[in-house]
Structure 1
């Protein structure tokens, strides 16, 4: 026995167990209840099933062979028995009845086609309806119905029993997964795609928000850097001014120094000190030509020079002069230290 045979037998056993189990009936009842709430057209689209056409035996008149049909046999064509079996027989009901068919009918299993239908269970027993038809008779009936597409062979005993005596080899192959399954699969795929799109949109929105926050923080950092640069420049300028101021002698010290350096008979009309430390002196003196030598002895000034020529003043009898010199930096430090 090879693996393919074992696999086929396992699938067949699983199929029989499923069809004999209460879970299968519960599933079909729940599904039919839900489908019953839908309009007929929607129900047909979801299940892929059109209303079945019933073909009654014996054939009374010619019928359209196009639609698929279910052949319904009268009770007289079959043997129907209700059996009570152990509950364990439900696991492999078809094979159990096949082995013991001669106990319940006058025929062997190879002479008939049969179908077992579970009616219910109580305690440790199982109530089963057994429907049997001679294989030769079934083949004759099917031969006369050869022009029709049969989906199953049922039996009417007042009402249809809901069995199928059509051999497995003659049953139409069902497409795996009906429209309902395909619809559910497409719905799940659509929901999954929607979730992915929403997740991507949420991530993109979060990324955009984070980028905006980063740009805002970068702008704040830029503004802070500008403030720091401005503060540094201001501090540098302040330090420069403080250093320049500290490097230059105080104006009072300069005036005191000039009062000692300038000879008698000399007075100043103009004294100007610019930011570069250049000093401009203008005034009158009786000894204007000797002022350069006198100012060189002044510790606060360096490099004194006349600006222009010395001109006599007729009103005062003195000479007008204009001098330019530079503040002496070392002198300013000495003055500051004092």
Structure 2
């Protein structure tokens, strides 16, 4: 089951490995890990984080190789076994370089894709174009080499290549399913990397949570202040309305003559032969009065002499009263408006 899974995910692992190997992100990650490892005590670093010594061996093997278990063996293949090309591709191909190279491989090599073990690595960028180093080797050539190394008890960690000048290309043609398992200290380093990554993510999440908490607290404070301002504005508006109403009532009250002055004025206007049975003064300045008079028909003319009343009119008809011998009347008038501006 494990072999099937590794075989199925081998292309994906190879693609990720080629994109990660030699990238700026990998260099920054290694530099950061080195900084973290430097903070550990020397005894801990020597025991748990000991760096494997890289040992380069060339093909063909001339002599038996005696390698220690801690050595990281890298086999280099000569240029005559490799297909090396430098390609110019659009920068958009960087999104999935291995897939693009896989589909276009038959354009650059005379062999089908399933017969080749290949690696593509970005070596430069020029505007909208990138320079890609394509290195491929036939599987039927690579596999016997790997079998020969395995027959001598060599555990290869990588397979590099050399150009025509004998310089290493900095690639890894070793199939993913044939790479050795990581040792304990390497696994510990991997665990340390995962822990560091988890701590970084946790710090970011905590920082974002704290920032969100502060933002929510500020938002609540702003909402509370906005409610306070709204309440103050409502109180101010209510106070203005109350003051206006009080001022209006005071003006209305000051504009109307007093009840005593109205009674004195009516007494002088109506005469001694008239008495009032009912008198009503409304808030709007309307005056209603009813009573009996010896000369009820002359009351309209008499009330024109009233200083506090105007627009006097009969309300209903004049009816004689058989008991008193006088005329019963009902009048409606208004308080004079000139009284509003009176001192």
- Greater C-alpha Rg: 1
